[in-house]
Amino acid sequence: MIKNILFILLISLSITGCYDLENRDSTNDNTQTQEVPEYQLVISSLEGVASTPEEYFELADAYMQRSGLVLSDVIQDISDSTKDAQSPFLAFVKSVQPSSQEEATSLQDLDKATDYHMLIIGDRCEEGVDLTEFEKEVCLYKGLAQTMEVANTINAMSDDISQVNTNGDAKLQASSCAMQYAFNNIVEKYCSISEVGEVTFEESNATYDKIAVYTEGREYEYLLLKDDRTHTREVVVTDGYCSSDNFETRESTLRDASYLPCPVSMEDGEKQITANDNLVDSLNEGTEAILAVSDNYTELATTVKEFRIEISTVGQDGQTGETIVDTTIDMQDMIEYLNEQNQLTNNLH
């Protein structure tokens, strides 16, 4: 079945013209074309001037390519995750680990791709909506990009995701504690948390609350984005460490005591990427987008629906006694899922 999905995908890509990005200058001997990746040429030529759905689609695909996302590989990874895996979603996350140097750029590029998909399709990627063939392709791309955002974010919030379910990952445990604390001010019994104070990054003109999370004898630092209107906070997705005045100082490990966890979003006025955005919203919206094209990608749609069921809270209908599942994920669902999967947490219960 997966071969049929890949064949349909390649055929549909040739119809939409997206694969022209790979070939349209193949006969050009220009030195710049040879040295600069094709997706970068597309971004340079269309960023800021794109105005049609087709141009937005080309830009979105270019950013997806720059993130390292290969659609056929992602579909294969999603399919493979369901084979003999106790936790299919976690198996998928483990299969798509980027290198530590690529996490920040990859997450930014996938976020940009999603923004361009939204300019084309808005919130129409829902089951039961009448979509054109072009819109179905947009929904598929959007869904896969957002599903990858979730996987890359979980990887960024852990030291070594492959250790989950076996030896456990202390950083993922600390990340879960930070998300729980930001969500409802609860401190899990296997962590302790202290408020460090406000920090401001000059280059992005962004201010955060910094907290320290202690677990398994180790300290981890997190940035919380404040919403002055709702008085709530969200964990900011970070990658490595950098100085407060220069994002170019980003390092994968802490080498300077004055450095801070480095936000993925770096530019002044740029949308801040939070755990709520990239774990909860992206999972719900991404899987919904894929389910919207389930007629064309039946096996893929079935698998992502299983992802949502795996993560969502299972309850009992008080009247019938039947098991009920709300497959819309919220932050508490995600926190509990990560805690249940992480062997460190299980050992402490």
CA angle in degrees (0–180, nearest 5) for 2-8-10: 105
The reported pTM is 0.84
- Indicate left, alpha or beta for 86 from its phi (over 0: left) and psi (-120 to 50: alpha): alpha
pLDDT computed for residue 185 by the predictor: 93
3-state secondary structure of 305: helix
pLDDT at 77: 85
CB 288 within 8 A of CB 250: no
pLDDT at 76 over 90: no
Give which of 115, 94, 107 is closest to 166, Cα–Cα: 94
Q: Give the pLDDT band of residue 191 (cuts 50, 70, 90).
A: very high
| Summary mean pLDDT of the chain | 83
pLDDT of residue 26: 34
Given the structure tokens 């991404």, which residue do they identify?
286
pLDDT band at 325 (very low <50, low <70, confident <90, very high): low
Q: How many CB atoms lie within 10 A of CB 262?
A: 22
Percent of the chain with pLDDT over 90: 54
Please state, in angstroms and as integers, the Cα–Cα distance from residue 220 to each residue in 103, 107, 160, 170, 184, following that order: 18, 21, 15, 9, 19
pLDDT of 144 > 80? The answer is yes
Q: Find the mean pLDDT for residues 178-185.
A: 95
- What are the structure tokens assigned to 82, written together? 């369901």
Q: Put the strands of the sheet holding 260-263 in their side by side order.
A: 246-251, 238-243, 260-263
Residue 343 burial (CB count, 10 A): 15
For residues 141 and 239, the model is more confident at: 141
